[in-house]
């Protein structure tokens, strides 16, 4: 009887710790992004979004189309996702749900010219289109990364989970890779 109670308590404890760790890891993954409301404005003849602090961010109309949104018009209310580098990752019409998911895996390859990244995950190798083609030099083949994937299935942000010391003699960087 005592052993059964101890086993049940141990299972409950492990369950609580694993759920708590999962929630903390998801919060950590999101903590470097800001989600703010904005209004579409015209800036130098192109669409832009103005956020409450007065900052105006230029928008790429093609990104909205790739994501499945109609082009935004002046005065549209939107929700803007801004990354740690103060760049717009994504813009959603106000009231639409953002269902981003995170995948952790080892980088098999980054094809900046092709606009894809391939990750080795517990489910096997998976390739994803890249929303933006600029990456940190720390995103190298073999690195363990956490990729943020939007509703359209595109990787909108990638962060290394480990920072490898870069070899100054290494010639293979994300900028000059050819795969």
Same domain flag for 88 and 126? no
Q: Is 115 a domain residue?
A: yes
Percent of the chain with pLDDT over 90: 30
How many whole angstroms separate alpha carbon 26 and alpha carbon 11?
23
Q: Which residue has the higher pLDDT, 43 or 21?
A: 43
Q: Is 128 a domain residue?
A: yes
In tens, the pLDDT along 135-158 reads: 776 788 888 999 999 888 889 889
Q: Between β-strands 46-50 and 34-43, what pairing exists: parallel, antiparallel or unpaired?
A: antiparallel
In tens, the pLDDT along 55-93 reads: 999 988 777 777 667 788 899 999 998 888 888 888 888
Classified as helix, coil or strand, 44 is coil
Q: Is 82 a domain residue?
A: yes
Who contacts 176 (Cβ-Cβ below 8 Å, separation ≥6)? none
pLDDT band at 38 (very low <50, low <70, confident <90, very high): very high
How many whole angstroms separate alpha carbon 58 and alpha carbon 84?
17
Two structure tokens written together for 92: 């959603």
Residue 147 · residue 161 · CB < 8 Å: no
Q: Identify the pLDDT of residue 150.
A: 86
Q: Is 21 a domain residue?
A: no
Classified as helix, coil or strand, 43 is strand
How many whole angstroms separate alpha carbon 155 and alpha carbon 153?
7
CATH number for the domain that contains residue 144: 2.40.50.140
Same domain flag for 41 and 75? yes
Q: What is the pTM of this model?
A: 0.64
Same domain flag for 39 and 89? yes
Final residue of a structural domain among 45, 68, 93: 93
Same domain flag for 87 and 131? no
Same domain flag for 81 and 106? no
CATH number for the domain that contains residue 75: 2.40.50
Two structure tokens written together for 134: 């600029």
How many whole angstroms separate alpha carbon 91 and alpha carbon 96?
10
Residue 28 main-chain phi, psi, to 5 deg? -65, -35
The separation between CA 88 and the C-alpha centre of its own chain, rounded to angstroms, equals 12
Same domain flag for 77 and 38? yes
Final residue of a structural domain among 51, 75, 93: 93
Q: Identify the pLDDT of residue 55.
A: 93
- The label of the residue with tokens 């404005």 reads 41
Q: Is 10 a domain residue?
A: no
Q: Is 28 a domain residue?
A: no
Count of the separate structural domains present in the chain? 2
How many whole angstroms separate alpha carbon 82 and alpha carbon 79?
10
List the domain range (segments joined by +) for residue 66: 34-93
């Amino acid at each position: 009887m005592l052993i059964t109670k101890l086993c049940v308590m141990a299972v409950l404890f492990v369950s609580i710790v694993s759920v708590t760790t999962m929630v903390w890891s998801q919060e950590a993954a999101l903590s470097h992004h800001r989600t703010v409301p904005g209004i579409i404005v015209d800036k130098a003849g192109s669409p832009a979004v103005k956020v409450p602090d007065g900052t105006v961010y230029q928008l790429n109309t093609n990104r909205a189309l790739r994501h499945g949104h109609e082009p935004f018009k002046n005065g549209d209310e939107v929700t803007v996702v801004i990354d740690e580098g103060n760049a717009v990752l994504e813009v959603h019409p106000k009231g639409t749900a953002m269902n981003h998911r995170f995948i952790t895996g080892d980088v098999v390859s980054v094809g900046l010219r092709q606009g894809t990244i391939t990750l080795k995950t517990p489910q096997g190798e998976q390739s994803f289109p890249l929303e933006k083609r600029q990456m940190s030099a720390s995103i190298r083949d073999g690195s363990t990364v956490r990729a943020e994937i939007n509703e359209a299935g595109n990787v909108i942000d990638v962060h290394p989970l480990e920072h490898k010391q870069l070899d100054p003699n290494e010639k293979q960087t994300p900028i000059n890779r050819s795969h």
